[in-house]
Structure 1
Amino acid sequence: MIIILKSGCSAEQAKEFAASLQKKYGVQVNIWFGTQSTVLGLIGDTSSIDIDSIAAQDCVESVKRVQEPYKKANRKFHPDDTVITLPSGQKIGDGSIALIAGPCSVESSEQICEVAERVKKAGAQFLRGGAFKPRTSPYSFQGLRAEGLDLLAEAKKKTGLPIVTEIMSEKYIDLFLEKGVDVIQVGARNMQNFELLKQLGRINKPILLKRGLSNTIEELLMSAEYIMSGGNEQVILCERGIRTFETYTRNTLDISAVPVLKRLSHLPVIVDPSHASGISWLVEPLALAAVAAGADGLIIEVHNDPKHALSDGAQSLTPDQFDHTAARVKAAAKALGRAVE
């Protein structure tokens, strides 16, 4: 249930009203102070609450019941867009296009530092790189693990780019925090690892949550709800393609998910055209489509030697190719009245 208060209602009155609702009905009440209105979000069993009685209060503008199971991620509870701001100043969700780029796997100091310098020069504001790698085959390269985190930290020190890397288990959370990971990525295979999501909800760190291979939009939002219900509301949603009957591409990019997610939720939405296609020449057109659809950012795989990459070389751009793609993304954003900063 959401309660929209009248514009003349002060912050103190809103807090007092929220406290009275919490005490009387035993529900959790979240207050959102927006630019146009103040919204109270009631979470819990609201079936016994008389809407007419609430609506009759002097400070209440309107009352609505919310049918969707996700509450904290729901735009009805939080009409304004959420903007994720890192301590270093980079933002995701402020209207500009955030560029996150780097190799699928961290392989060496030379590799990650070279790629970091090149993607920064092209306009990327974040460095991505896998230290822990989920692979279909147990015999494939699994990542450098803790050493990979150290190499990412080295590249961050050289370039100033905040790092984005994937976590595989809740047992690594302390290690990720200790190594200075700026944005923790939850991959598609762990989107419904609910114990991991619960633990990530207890830390103060942005979480990039990828949509699962065969998951619905509502299931993605419910996974975000797991994180947010724990207290961490810094969630970034990522559309990375879903599994369909089509076999030409690695996955099928659900471009419609971008405006749908932006309508249903206040959380930032980014797109991964690399995993969506699995083909390097498709990355640029899909990236441009994502910008046109309203995505808040892109996460793109870039490798200095894709032919010899230890993972996902076929979908990785070379630094020169990324230069071209980044330039076209900037041009598309500008045409749409947006920026890549």
Structure 2
Amino acid sequence: MNDLKPILPDGIEMPHPLIIAGPCSAETEEQVMNTARELARNGIKIFRAGIWKPRTKPGGFEGIGVEGLEWLKRVKAETGMLTATEVATRQHVEAALNAGVDILWIGARTSANPFAMQEIADSLAAAKVDIPVLVKNPVNPDLELWIGALQRIYNAGIRRIGAIHRGFSSYGKHLYRNLPQWHIPIELRRRMPNLPIICDPSHIGGKRELVAPLSQQALDMGFDGLIIESHCDPDCAWSDKAQQVTPDVLNFILNTLVLRDSTVTTESLTLLRQQIDELDNELLEVLNKRMRVSREIGQYKKEHRMPVLQIGRHDHIMQTRAKLAEEMGMSGEFMKTVLAAIHEESVRQQIEVFNDRTK
């Protein structure tokens, strides 16, 4: 995928950051037009609105349907903004293309389904268009599935492709609606450096007060743009009202974002990066020594017919090390994640010792 084109159509300059904004759902013509006019007045160039809405359970508002496409036409005609909407089936693609929608995006539930992705790819190939298509990450943290979804769109002849990071679903209560797991889009950037990546802070946060800090964090990490849900009256929204902001609040957020210059490098930064490299090497050496000790422990357990897994010991390590990490100014959850990975590798090393018949 080295021959990707800019996301926006020819003749339209790609701004940094790219901003896409609009309501979660197109509800009424009045709501769509009021929101669009306010966003256009604040300089937004791309208007998003969900026409079809996949819901977790039946009975909820599942989108206004094709009627809303006429409202998007009116938005484009009256404000000059480009329009964007989500598609999940062949029929959605055909209807959106016939209505002149400028940008399509594919949601997290759809990108997780290879059959649905292939259906969309086939409909795009049949239409012989090179419309911009943005692919959200799958619901679960599966990078290969995300890359596979992007490749299906590429194989359909689409070259204006981008990714949307909207976070990953998880069980239980968390600060975020969908956990960011930033390392996954970072790895996607490493694997596909020419692919624009846009952050969706609305779906990651799930609360409007988290939109601003998540937007800043995404830009600090080099994301190419933001897709943010904005509604003229968010408290009365028919879907996801808690994560939508008014156009004026969105304008305030965008005006307070700090844009970093990724082209600036200094000698001091180079020296600091060299220190990081040296420390990483030291970490590897320490981890290697730890694994050698783990293998010796495994040998002892084997000789004395002890089980590999010692739950009490593991819990003690997790609790005490996490507390020490917090006292040193680090996140306890971060340390638990690190320790869990180290423990998994230690267990693997000990099982290898158990399975080695020569010892």
Q: TM-score, normalised by structure 2?
A: 0.67
> 1:90-239 counterparts in 2 under 5 A?
90-91=13-14, 96-191=16-111, 192=113, 193-202=116-125, 203-239=129-165
Q: How much does 1:205 deviate?
A: 1.1
- Structure with larger Rg: 2
Q: Does 1:253 align with 2:176?
A: no
> 1:1-341 counterparts in 2 under 5 A?
72=1, 78=2, 82-87=5-10, 89-91=12-14, 96-191=16-111, 192=113, 193-202=116-125, 203-245=129-171, 247-248=173-174, 249-265=176-192, 266-329=194-257, 332-333=258-259
Q: For residues 7 and 242 of structure 2, what CA distance do their matches in structure 1 show?
A: 31
Unaligned runs of 5+ in 1: 1-71, 73-77
RMSD of aligned alpha carbons: 2.0
- Seen in structure 2, the aligned counterparts of structure 1 residues 288 and 278 have a Cα distance that, compared at 3 Å, is same
Identical aligned residues as a percent: 32
- Seen in structure 2, the aligned counterparts of structure 1 residues 293 and 101 have a Cα distance that, compared at 3 Å, is same
Q: Secondary structure at the match of 1:84?
A: coil
Q: Secondary structure at the match of 2:259?
A: helix
Where relative contact order (Cα < 8 A, 6+ residues apart) is larger, the structure is 1
Q: How much does 1:116 deviate?
A: 1.3
Q: For residues 255 and 206 of structure 1, what CA distance do their matches in structure 2 show?
A: 24
Query: More helix by proportion, 1 or 2?
Result: 2
C-alpha contact (below 8 Å) 1:287/1:298 kept by paired residues? yes
User: 1:3-42: per-residue Cα shift (whole Å, max 9, x none)?
Assistant: xxxxxxxxxxxxxxxxxxxxxxxxxxxxxxxxxxxxxxxx
Number of aligned positions between the proteins: 256
Q: How much does 1:305 deviate?
A: 1.0
C-alpha contact (below 8 Å) 1:239/1:257 kept by paired residues? no
Q: Secondary structure at the match of 1:257?
A: helix
C-alpha contact (below 8 Å) 2:199/2:218 kept by paired residues? yes
Q: For residues 90 and 106 of structure 1, what CA distance do their matches in structure 2 show?
A: 27
C-alpha contact (below 8 Å) 2:48/2:83 kept by paired residues? yes
Query: More strand by proportion, 1 or 2?
Result: 1
Q: Secondary structure at the match of 1:107?
A: coil
User: 1:51-83: per-residue Cα shift (whole Å, max 9, x none)?
Assistant: xxxxxxxxxxxxxxxxxxxxx3xxxxx2x8742
Unaligned runs of 5+ in 2: 265-359
Q: How much does 1:256 deviate?
A: 2.8
Q: How much does 1:175 deviate?
A: 1.3
Counterpart of 1:65 in structure 2 is none
Q: TM-score, normalised by structure 1?
A: 0.70
Q: For residues 117 and 126 of structure 1, what CA distance do their matches in structure 2 show?
A: 12
User: 1:174-221: per-residue Cα shift (whole Å, max 9, x none)?
Assistant: 211110111111111100223324225513211110011104222211
Q: For residues 137 and 101 of structure 1, what CA distance do their matches in structure 2 show?
A: 26
Q: Secondary structure at the match of 1:270?
A: strand
Q: For residues 273 and 337 of structure 1, what CA distance do their matches in structure 2 show?
A: 25
Q: For residues 39 and 188 of structure 2, what CA distance do their matches in structure 1 show?
A: 28
- Seen in structure 2, the aligned counterparts of structure 1 residues 194 and 336 have a Cα distance that, compared at 3 Å, is closer
Q: How much does 1:163 deviate?
A: 0.7
Q: For residues 129 and 102 of structure 1, what CA distance do their matches in structure 2 show?
A: 6
Q: How much does 1:143 deviate?
A: 1.1
C-alpha contact (below 8 Å) 2:118/2:152 kept by paired residues? no
